[in-house]
Amino acid sequence: MEPQKVTYFTEISLMMFGFGDSHKPNPETVRYVETIVLKQLRTILNEATKYWDGKLLRGEELVFLMRKNKWKMRRFVKYLNLKHLISTRCESKLETQPKPVRPHELLDFIDRIDETGELTDLSELDEVVHQRQVRAGYISQALDDAKYLEFQKARCVSFNSRGTSRSANLEKLRAWVDPKKLINTSDIAMEVLAYYAYQTVAEMIDYALLVRMDAKRTGDPLSNLSGFHYTAAMFVGEHRFSGPNPDYSRVYSGQPPITVAEIREVMRRFNVSQAGRLTFGDKLPETSFLFAL
């Protein structure tokens, strides 16, 4: 009897809804997104093996790949801080005299590689996260109580959701990313991969919605070129820095699902060498085309 194929179709479908897609995403689009996420995770895993000891991938190697993007590293630091806070509260509930919970070991590693202090500086507004929150707010305001609860549940889904045990979640992810068990990965490394997978889905939906806004745009094709996250080579049309707010309240009632064609357009733009990157005639490294990094 052949082993059952590991899939994250249901989880990705819910995540796409939580990030702003229709409440019933296109199944073909979900499968396409799943394929892209899996391919990118395997690329990240292989890239990380350039820095490991050949015995065990511990997690630091995966985090090291993110060192050149301060915004994404800051989001990861916030994620680790939240995990630490949750662990602290859990300890305080279980023990009358709780022991101090040690900060996540990856935070120590990030501190060691953060020579300028910018990777752990959380004082600046993260425009990308802010826009995701604004989008979720627009959607929430348009929903009744029952649909709002459904939307919030979708926003809580991840590749490491709490519905099952932590070990079961990590083993499922291992079987999905590395079914032949070619790389020995620690649980912490798998948690980092789960985070990368989640952020990959989030960015793809961000970009797909901007592709849709570009398609509806009229006027001067060279206007609205500003932006530090979505570069001019990626999106030259109307986006979050200008123009009227899109009607995200239609997500539940009338917005058509994101199509495969829109995701393909995202990938086409994302895989084009973008402006502002100094390559001195060399090809961009493969990690430049990974959403999570």
Alpha-carbon distance of 115 to 95, in angstroms, equals: 38
Q: Is residue 2 part of a domain?
A: no
pLDDT score recorded for residue 287? 65
Torsion of CA 17, 210, 122, 274, to 10 degrees: 130
Q: Is residue 148 part of a domain?
A: yes
Q: Is residue 206 part of a domain?
A: yes
pLDDT score recorded for residue 241? 42
pLDDT score recorded for residue 279? 52
Closest by CA position to 159, among listed 128, 184, 190, 187:
190
Q: Evaluate whether 30 touches 259 at the Cβ level (below 8 Å).
A: no
Q: Is residue 122 part of a domain?
A: yes
Q: Is residue 259 part of a domain?
A: yes
Q: Where are the alpha helices (DSSP H) in the chain?
A: 9-19, 27-48, 60-64, 70-94, 105-113, 127-141, 145-155, 166-177, 187-216, 250-253, 260-270
pLDDT means per 10 residues, the chain with 293 residues, are 78 95 94 97 94 91 93 94 73 51 77 91 91 88 88 92 76 94 93 96 93 73 44 42 54 79 92 60 66 90
pLDDT score recorded for residue 226? 40
pTM (two decimals)? 0.84
Give the chain's radius of gyration (CA, Å): 20
Give the 3-state DSSP-derived string for 198-264, with helices as H, strands as E and coil as C: HHHHHHHHHHHHHHHHHHHCCCCCCCCCCCCCCCCCCCCCCCCCCCCCCCCCHHHHCCCCCCHHHHH
Q: Is residue 3 part of a domain?
A: no
Map residue 57 onto helix, strand or coil: strand
Q: Is residue 185 part of a domain?
A: yes
Per-residue DSSP letter, 287: G
| CA separation, residue 49 to residues 56, 57, 251, 270 (Å) | 9, 7, 41, 24
Q: Please, is 6 exposed, middle or buried when counting C-beta atoms within 10 Å of its C-beta (0-12, 13-18, 19+)?
A: middle
Closest by CA position to 58, among listed 66, 67, 49:
49
Q: 114 is in which domain, residue-wise?
A: 9-289
Q: Is residue 1 part of a domain?
A: no
* Total domains present in the chain: 1
